[in-house]
Amino acid sequence: MRALVFDAYGAQPVVRHVPEPAPAEHGAVVRVEATGLCRSDWHAWAGHDRTIALPHVPGHELAGAVEAVGSTVTGWQPGDRVTVPFVCACGSCAQCLSGNHQVCERQTQPGFTGWGSFAELVALDHADVNLVGLPDDMAAATAAGLGCRVATAHRAVVAQGRVAPGEWVAVHGCGGVGLSAVMVAVACGARVVAVDVSTAALGLARDFGAEVTVDATTEGVVPAVRAATGGGAHLSLDALGSAETCGASIRSLRTRGRHVQVGLLPPDLGHPAIPMSRVIAHELVLVGSHGMPSHDYPGLLAMVTSGRLPADRLVTRRIPLDEAGPALVSMGEPGFPAGVTVIEPQATGPA
């Protein structure tokens, strides 16, 4: 099969033929119809997590059709259209037994712990625990986002952020997960302030229902958010993952506000300074959010199919596998297109 491979961290990824994966006894192989390009793919390529074994195929945000299943899988068969949370849970550890599959003690992640979905086929573990069936009329490019950014945003805003109608939600960083968080918060009846350095990203945030946008290149983010929200946001998300956005998110909260850390902060990039004195004095709540368990997908799918969460509008660019390498590399550069880039590995024939 064809896959996008990199042989060294930071080296140009190339499309080449590699052996087709076989399903584990408990696993499935999925033919990838669409797979989103995510900032964590870029972190992996750039070498911010040196546990990734080389050579490597990135990609973890996917939708497609089941191609084959292992001998113990009972719930799925070839042809079923599916997506999968990027945290593939074991289904049997203490966290899984408590329903917290998103922090499974024995989790695997396509595109990180093993080869991922920037390929014609991808192997996924524990299919009966993890696969999520898709409505027939949901486009693969839309469904791919449910594997990472849209699901991550949903859990961050709803389960971890405990958003309530009428609350002010600040979203720092309007990449794929940030724009998804804007949509989820608006769908929940919240009022949204979106912060970014890109006017194009802020334009999309406005299109998706943000009432106020703050351009971090020209405005002081914290005073702007505090002014727009009448004293600070009830809920604020760092959807990018940087010392600046993490600090600004915490400082833009009102008393007893909740900060949810969503964007990755790889230890190799340093540890952000957290204003803990403010956390104490204002009784702020800081929580992390990591993916979403497969059993929470019905609520998310209902939000998408009802039109309340128009996840299809997040997709601004669709490219074949041959263009995935340059797109991945350019993710860390200015001028990367706003919105979500989706790779369609079946769109090109064999080389």
Q: Closest Cα to residue 275, out of 298, 302, 252?
A: 252
Please report whether residue 182 would count as binding Zn ion according to CB under 5 A: no
Pairing between β-strand 285-288 and β-strand 253-261 as defined by DSSP bridges: parallel
Question: Tokens standing for 38?
Answer: 């995510």
30 near Zn ion, rule: CB under 5 A = no
Q: How far is the CB of 298 from Zn ion (least distance, A)?
A: 20
| Residue 96 engages Zn ion in binding (rule: CB under 5 A) | yes
Residue 253 has phi, psi (to 5 degrees) of -80, 150
Tokens of 283: 């009784």
Looking at 4, 104, 123, 144, which residue binds Zn ion (CB under 5 A)?
104
227 touching Zn ion, by CB under 5 A: no
Return the exposure string of 270-303: e unless at least 16 CB atoms fall within 10 Å of the residue's CB, then b.
eebebeeeeeeebebbeeebbbbbbebbeebbeb
- Are the C-beta atoms of 127 and 142 separated by less than 8 Å? no
Whichever of 90 and 205 has its CB closer to Zn ion, that residue is 90
Shortest Cβ distance from residue 297 to Zn ion (Å)?
Answer: 16
In whole angstroms, how close is the CB of 108 to Zn ion at the nearest point?
A: 10
Q: Which is nearer to Zn ion, 38 or 222 (CB)?
A: 38
Which residue, 285 or 329, has its beta carbon nearer to Zn ion? Answer: 329
Q: By C-alpha distance, which of 324, 316, 314 is closest to 120?
A: 324
**Residues contacting residue 335 through CB under 8 Å, at least 6 positions apart:** none
Q: Establish if 83 lies at the interface with Zn ion (CB under 5 A).
A: no
Binding mask 130-169 for Zn ion (x = CB under 5 A): ------------------x---------------------
CB 342 → Zn ion: shortest distance, Å? 12
The residue among 21 and 291 lying less far from Zn ion, judged by its C-beta, is 291
Among all chains, which residue has been given the structure tokens 């997709």? 315
Asked if 35 and 45 touch (Cβ cutoff 8 Å), the reply is no
With binding defined as CB under 5 A, does residue 29 bind Zn ion?
A: no
By CB under 5 A, is residue 38 in contact with Zn ion?
Answer: yes
Number of amino acids touching Zn ion (CB under 5 A): 8
Among 34, 90, 201, 235, which residue sits at the site for Zn ion (rule: CB under 5 A)? 90
Q: Which amino acid is at 102?
A: Q
Q: Which residues bind Zn ion (CB under 5 A)?
A: 38, 40, 89-90, 93, 96, 104, 148
